């Protein structure tokens, strides 16, 4: 029986590797080589996803392991074999295991096993999805007496297999300890140094692993300790790994990437000689490395200095930048060290203390004060020139320290400038991008919308579709848009998960133009949903294709477009914004309505209501006069809207959601959340109005809300001049950034700030929650919103301060997160508004004394001095008058001094 590819494929598909192996072994070498081309062609044609489809197909096995046997058994060269085994449709082939593959190779006596191992290793992906791949590569390399290529991906795969507890032994016995696995690994000496050489591998080493000795999971990286143990046993060379460790720390990286090497450094316990040989390296690490590594370097340098082997110039050069690091513990330790050196070497005390003065530029007042006190202890021994230079350096001191420094150095106290720092007015919102003018441009924008569903892209696509249908017709749009629909069928064709997606409704609208009748059933449901929304003022509900939340207004508009586009021949959309906030210029809407009257058509009703909701609060009298001359129903409604002042502000109220004691999860039982309830200020009004302005929160907080994570800009564009209403809807998600440590959601805060309208409890609490968010990027977004609000005329600071008091007094917001965010606001120039926030927040926070309050008082001192504040803070004097020297009392006294009370 002659061997054929079909025979091998049949056994592979049936999951019979033993039978396939028998066929290969029994066939002559000539037959195996003769079908190499057929094997190659068959594998190239095979189903790319067969490896996972087999899991849900009875009687159908993953063919990749069998195909791998066929490759090893038939290919004439390593190059052709590696090309097949590394194809995308050959994932998981290595589950066949190394013994069977090497058995075929040994039987054929092929000389290129080592070359095959190297070729496969060179093509390893960055993150190997097949955990069985490295054992096969290793077996091939050993069989061919070849060394592995030293690349990041190879070292990563080797390390991942090394620390894994999985074993392929048939007896299922426990794997040997990690120390034994590393000691006996055939590739250890070649690949272990690669863990130090490739920067991306530090994070791989920092994870925990299973400890076979204790039978438990260890959160600590185990490899550093094992490397140190093998060095102690003489298996690894100590000098090599000390040098590698210090060199890896020098090359830097994120803290988690450097942590394993810092642990190894500690485990090695370098001698004084070893530390001295790397003194300049530690001097580079101290001012620049992450905190834990800098602390390690500081300890090493102090050991060298205590041994009398550290040059003073090296210490002074590295101390200057170290003394302005944010880690106060590290900085204070450096100051203590410098104080000892100054006393030890009185002849050079002036140089040392001038270096100490670098700490005057530290952002923390207690660090500045410590440096000043240290200098004051030794100032009597300094020459006049040194004292003068120290006095000059003290010009950067903040809070109450400038006056103290003036007394110490015998100079005049500095006088703050006449101008209070103030932000310039915020720039007006940018204009919308120009309209789409060609079908090709519309197709491009549609593709962009699929990938980035921003409100601006939505508005351009809707306006472009309506205008181009009126001017270019169906044929032109069909030629441009049909390829886009074909390319993204999952977005524009109905499925169980996208029935309320505006993108699906847009697909219906496009099909109604280029292929009428294709979406008849869905088109009919959209007609019903639009009719219900218009007649009852209600979106959402059972079987509705529309969302009930405000961002659902976009879905309603798209649905209206889909049902009206080919029926009414309206040539333009009324609600297309003129600015990126969603605002519509009244003069532009006036011209649109004049055109409608001149051409004899009426705007679509939902589109027109959205246009009215986007009008600003104040309108030029000339536009109002022009509106009163309109005669169409829409024109008269426009004139009445302008005359009556537009949409009244809704009523928003603080609403406290209490912990749900009936829930098992820890979060729901312990956290209170403040959100906003909202109701319209009037009965009647627009059909969209009541649902947009009515919000009744539940009694208990919602866990991990995410309604607006991807549509914050769509939400703010609905009511661009009533940002308090939009903030009320999105507030639960902003709160979750702080009390549930969610990452998404803060992008909406700067958008709300760029809109207009009074700031009420919803936006104030939203900003407060953002300032106390878990993730830094969210606090930055909240800071950006704060800066924008500070440049606008609407008052907001007192409301934000009250929110910070409410949420900070009992620890709902962590002041340790809030203070750095407010510090950035101060440095950006919004000090006047920030002082209003602090002056409103401190009276309520002082009695509660939450954790982090001293830091907030320290910031308040800096801000108060910058704006020359003279207000009285209730409760501050009482704390400042307490006995003792706790940091809270010291910072209260400092602020009291700056305020002049």
Model pLDDT for residues 93-113, shown as the tens digit of each residue? 888 888 888 888 988 999 999
- The average pLDDT across 728-736 equals 96
Would you give the DSSP letter of residue 695?
Answer: B
| Helices 238-250, 255-268: crossing angle, 10 deg rounding | 150
- pTM of the predicted model, to two decimals? 0.80
Average pLDDT, the chain: 90
pLDDT at position 212: 57
Contacts of the segment 873-881: beta carbons below 8 A, 24+ positions apart = 873/839, 873/842, 873/843, 873/846, 873/899, 874/843, 874/846, 875/842, 875/843, 875/846, 875/847, 876/842, 876/846, 876/901, 877/901, 879/846
pLDDT category, 529, cuts 50, 70, 90? confident
Strand partners, 651: 679
Residue 669 in this model has a pLDDT that exceeds 60: no
Residue 428 to residue 282: CA distance in whole angstroms: 50
Q: Evaluate if residue 129 carries a pLDDT over 60.
A: no
CA–CA gap between residue 886 and residue 124 (Å, rounded): 58
Given a contact cutoff of 8 angstroms between Cβ atoms, the answer to whether 773 and 737 are in contact is yes
- What per-residue confidence (pLDDT) applies to 525? 77
Question: What value does the mean pLDDT take over residues 342-356?
Answer: 95
C-beta separation of 654 from 630 below 8 A: no
DSSP per position, 614-630? TS-S---HHHHHHHHT-
pLDDT for res 168? 41
pLDDT exceeds cutoff 50 at 170: no
Rounded Cα–Cα distance for residues 465 and 509 (Å)? 9
Q: Does residue 491 surpass a pLDDT of 70? A: yes
Range with the poorest average pLDDT among 20-29, 407-416, 701-710, 796-805: 407-416
Does residue 47 carry a pLDDT above 90? no
pLDDT at 57: 45
Smallest CA-to-CA distance from 526 within 557, 485, 496 is with 557
pLDDT of residue 683: 86
Rounded to whole angstroms, the Cα distance separating 708 from 745 reads 7
* Burial class of residue 502, CB neighbours in 10 A (0-12, 13-18, 19+): buried
- Of 162-166, 552-556, 874-878, the range with the lowest mean pLDDT is 162-166
Name the token pair of 642.
């302008």
Residue 418 has pLDDT above 50, yes or no: no
pLDDT at 738 over 80: yes
């Amino acid at each position: 029986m002659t061997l054929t590819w079909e025979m091998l494929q049949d056994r592979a598909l049936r999951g019979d590797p033993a039978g396939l192996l028998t066929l290969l072994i029994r066939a002559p070498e000539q037959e195996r080589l003769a079908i190499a081309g057929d094997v190659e062609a068959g594998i190239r044609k095979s189903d790319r996803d067969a490896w996972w489809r087999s899991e849900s197909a009875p009687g159908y096995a993953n063919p990749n392991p069998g195909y791998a046997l066929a490759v090893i058994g038939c290919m004439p060269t390593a190059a052709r074999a590696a090309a097949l085994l590394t194809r995308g449709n050959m994932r998981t082939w290595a589950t066949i295991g190394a013994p069977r593959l090497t058995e075929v190779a040994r039987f054929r006596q092929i000389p290129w096993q080592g070359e095959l191992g190297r070729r496969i290793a060179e093509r390893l992906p960055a993150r190997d999805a097949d955990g069985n791949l490295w054992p096969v590569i290793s077996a091939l390399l050993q069989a061919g007496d070849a060394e592995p290529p030293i690349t990041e991906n190879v070292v990563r795969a080797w390390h991942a297999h090394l620390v894994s507890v999985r074993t392929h032994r048939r007896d299922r016995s426990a794997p040997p300890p990690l120390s034994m696995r590393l000691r006996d690994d055939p590739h250890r000496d070649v690949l272990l140094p690669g863990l130090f050489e490739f920067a991306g591998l530090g994070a791989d080493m920092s994870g925990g692993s299973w400890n076979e000795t204790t039978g438990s999971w260890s959160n600590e990286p185990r490899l550093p300790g094992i490397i140190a143990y093998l060095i102690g046993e003489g298996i690894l060379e100590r000098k090599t790994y000390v040098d590698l460790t210090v060199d890896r720390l020098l090359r830097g990286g994120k803290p988690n990437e450097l942590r394993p090497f810092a642990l190894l450094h500690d485990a090695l316990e370098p001698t004084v000689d070893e530390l001295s040989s790397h003194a300049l390296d530690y001097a580079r690490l101290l001012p620049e490395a992450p905190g834990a590594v800098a602390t390690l370097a500081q300890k090493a340098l102090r050991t060298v200095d205590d041994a009398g082997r550290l040059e003073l110039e090296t210490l002074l050069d590295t101390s200057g930048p170290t003394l302005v690091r944010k880690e106060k513990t590290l900085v204070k330790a450096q100051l203590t060290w410098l104080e000892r050196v100054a006393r030890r070497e009185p002849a050079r005390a002036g140089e040392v203390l001038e270096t100490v003065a670098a700490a005057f530029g530290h952002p923390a007042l207690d660090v500045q004060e410590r440096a000043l006190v240290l200098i004051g202890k030794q100032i009597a021994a300094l020459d006049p020139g040194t004292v003068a230079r120290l006095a000059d350096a003290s010009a950067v001191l903040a809070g109450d320290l400038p006056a103290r420094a003036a007394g110490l150095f015998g100079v005049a106290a500095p006088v703050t400038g006449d101008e209070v720092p103030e932000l310039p007015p915020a720039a007006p919102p940018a204009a919308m991008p120009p309209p789409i003018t060609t079908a090709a441009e519309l197709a491009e924008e549609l593709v962009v919308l699929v990938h980035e569903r921003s409100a601006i892209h939505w508005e351009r696509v809707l306006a472009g579709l309506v205008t181009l249908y009126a001017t270019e017709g169906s044929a032109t749009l069909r030629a441009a848009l049909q390829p886009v629909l074909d390319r993204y069928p999952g977005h524009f064709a109905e499925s169980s998960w996208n029935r309320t997606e505006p993108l699906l409704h847009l697909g219906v609208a496009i099909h109604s133009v280029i292929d009428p009748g294709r979406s008849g059933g869905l088109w009919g449901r959209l007609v019903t949903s639009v009719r219900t929304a218009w007649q009852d003022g209600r979106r959402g509900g059972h079987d509705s294709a529309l969302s009930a939340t405000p961002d659902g207004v976009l879905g309603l508009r798209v649905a209206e477009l889909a049902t009206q586009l080919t029926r009414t021949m309206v040539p333009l959309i009324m609600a297309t914004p003129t600015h990126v906030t969603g605002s519509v210029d009244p003069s532009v809407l006036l011209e649109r309505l004049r055109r409608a009257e001149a051409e004899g058509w009426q705007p679509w009703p939902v589109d027109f209501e959205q246009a009215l909701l986007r009008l600003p609060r104040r309108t030029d009298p000339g536009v109002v006069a022009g509106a009163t001359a309109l005669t169409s129903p829409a024109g008269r409604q426009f004139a009445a809207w302008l005359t009556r002042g537009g949409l009244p502000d809704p009523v928003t109220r603080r609403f406290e959601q209490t912990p749900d004691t009936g829930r098992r999860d820890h979060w729901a039982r312990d956290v209170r959340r403040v959100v906003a309830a909202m109701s319209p200020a009037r009965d009647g009004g627009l059909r969209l109005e009541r649902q947009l302005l009515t919000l009744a929160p539940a009694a208990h907080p919602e866990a991990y809300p995410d309604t607006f994570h991807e549509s914050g800009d769509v939400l703010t564009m609905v009511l661009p001049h009533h940002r308090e209403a939009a903030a009320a809807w999105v507030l639960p998600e902003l709160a979750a950034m702080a009390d549930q440590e969610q990452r998404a959601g803060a992008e909406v805060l700067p958008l709300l700030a760029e809109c207009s309208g009074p700031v009420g409890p919803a936006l104030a609490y939203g900003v407060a929650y953002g300032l106390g968010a878990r993730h830094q990027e969210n606090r930055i977004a909240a800071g950006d919103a704060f800066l924008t609000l500070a440049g606008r005329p609407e008052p907001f600071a007192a409301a934000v301060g009250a929110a910070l008091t409410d949420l900070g007094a009992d620890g709902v917001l962590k002041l340790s997160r809030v203070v750095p965010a407010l510090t950035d606001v101060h440095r950006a120039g919004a000090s006047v508004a920030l002082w209003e926030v602090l002056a409103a927040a401190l009276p309520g926070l002082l009695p509660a004394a939450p954790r982090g309050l001293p830091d907030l008082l320290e910031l308040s001192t800096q801000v108060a001095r910058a704006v020359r504040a003279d207000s009285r803070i209730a409760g501050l004097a009482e704390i400042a008058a307490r006995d003792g020297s706790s940091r809270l009392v010291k910072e209260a006294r400092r602020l009291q001094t700056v305020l002049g009370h």
